[in-house]
Amino acid sequence: MKRIAITTLLAVLITQAVTGQVGRPFIHDPSTIVECDGKYYTFGTGQGGLISEDGWTWYGGGIRPGGGAAPDAMKIGNRYLVVYGATGGGGSHKGAIFTMWNNTLDPKSPNFKYSEPVVVATSDGYEENDAIDPGLMLDPATGRLWLTYGTYFGFIRLVELDPKTGKRVTGNKHVDVAATCEASVLVYRDGWYYMLATHGSCCDGANSTYNVVVGRSKKVTGPYIDNVGRNMLEGGGKMVVATRGGLIGPGHFGHIILEKGVEKMSLHYEADLEQGGRSVLGILPVVWKDGWPVAGEKFKEGTYEIESVRRGYALELAVDLARMAGGPRGFGGQANNEPIKPVPFQELADVSKNWPTGNIGARIGDYMSRPHQKWTITDAPDTTGYLGGPYYKIVLAGTERALAATANGEVITVPNFTGAPEQLWRIDQLTDGTYRIMPKVVPDSDKKLALVSSGDCTPTLAEFDFSSDNSKWNFKVH
């Protein structure tokens, strides 16, 4: 009987400091990341915002007038709607939510000009609401535009905006939908409305207790109920993301759908210990588990079996399987008093001398814990990335033999990693918790292809299809 101790989730074999984004990703209360003309934008409290060419390295340069706190942003049609809250000062809870439009978020564009902001909600300083911390949702089911706003001071409120004008729908009255939280935003998925909101306290560096929770409802107006039946008006909420490693106090969730099965969340960490305890932008995969969103993991460097979800076979080098020492024993029930000695694992040096020295093909086979089936994946020495991650180098463990895409849409291994773009790999955790693996480029092609299983045993490149297990992979550590 085979007995393999399998850890189904990621485990780190190479010590790695987990950081948020790179560059100068310093921001507080970021708006949902929005793409505009190939660049990514997010705006924060105060004014201004961050821009990224690739979604991984972020710098200042975003422009959002109006000051105030905790904006949100959304593309509607060909325009961008930006919403932010302003407060009256003096410790009061008097505030107003403003919306404004721009045709582009690129401040260098001649079309960059914000419209005059309009007020869509207020709080008078005494009522049980703070008119700050707005979050937008364009309901894909109805086309209606919803805004939630508020802080711990009383209730989170829901109002409806006109998606054509960004103004409050005439006659619309607010609905209280949650309490004891802030930085709320709605997400629609599969017939459910999800309210994601931030609990805890901010602005105290590594002592901040921010975390993001969720409740859901069949109606946009609520009630929003958590996984144990608590109403968010009673403080309910199921954890989506909390402190992880040196990334302390996540808050201000924003939802980004890249394509079917590939979703991200934007947020900030109150403190990134690796970056001087500063408040930084964070981007994580969204995983949906039993109908609830949870934060996935930014891929962690390590040595793994790369398992095809299709059948459960593993990516391997197309070389001869070398038999291990030892033979069948223990059959027949005869008494055997020989001392029990462990059988050593097959080592790379035992077998690699018999491998070809040039390019070697890749295939998928039954995992046997052999050297030709173990892959070391590390952050590539490349400055570029994609939304939420850097490109990775995938080499056979203990070697520099690298996985590479070919011009004819296949995958091979080359003897040495050179840093060529076809040897760089994007790894996204998918909404079901499995992973997509994509080369940065396919040589002589502009196609965006992913590593897939053709049949059980042939790895190839093809268009990603979330509905097929052929397109999905797991990383296992044994």
In the bound state with another protein, the residue whose beta carbon lies nearer, of 278 and 310, is 278
Q: Is 471 helix (H, G, I), strand (E, B) or coil?
A: helix
In the bound state with another protein, the residue whose beta carbon lies nearer, of 134 and 388, is 134
Contacts of 355 (CB under 8 A, 6+ apart): 317, 319, 372
Instruction: Give, as one character, the DSSP assignment of residue 233.
Output: G
Paired with 143 in beta bridges are none
d(CA 284, CA 288): 13
Phi, psi of 121 (to 5 degrees): -160, 150
In the bound state with another protein, the residue whose beta carbon lies nearer, of 31 and 373, is 31
Q: Is the dihedral of CA 374, 380, 385, 390 positive or negative?
A: positive
* Helix, strand, coil distribution of the chain in percent, nearest 5: 5, 45, 50
Whole-number minimum distance, CB 175 to another protein, in Å?
15
Whole-number minimum distance, CB 280 to another protein, in Å?
8
Whole-number minimum distance, CB 125 to another protein, in Å?
8
In the bound state with another protein, the residue whose beta carbon lies nearer, of 267 and 452, is 267
Phi, psi of 341 (to 5 degrees): -120, 135
Whole-number minimum distance, CB 251 to another protein, in Å?
8
Whole-number minimum distance, CB 95 to another protein, in Å?
7
Whole-number minimum distance, CB 230 to another protein, in Å?
6
Q: b/e string for 183-199 if b means 16 or more Cβ within 10 A?
A: bbbbbbbeeebbbbbbb
Q: Which residue is it, tokens 């609990």?
A: 199
Tokens at 317, concatenated:
């080098």
In the bound state with another protein, the residue whose beta carbon lies nearer, of 85 and 388, is 85
Listed residue (309, 254, 282) closest to 437, CA to CA: 309
In the bound state with another protein, the residue whose beta carbon lies nearer, of 239 and 351, is 239
Q: Is the dihedral of CA 378, 383, 385, 388 positive or negative?
A: positive
Q: Is 133 helix (H, G, I), strand (E, B) or coil?
A: coil
In the bound state with another protein, the residue whose beta carbon lies nearer, of 257 and 273, is 273
Whole-number minimum distance, CB 138 to another protein, in Å?
24
In the bound state with another protein, the residue whose beta carbon lies nearer, of 22 and 76, is 22
Whole-number minimum distance, CB 192 to another protein, in Å?
22
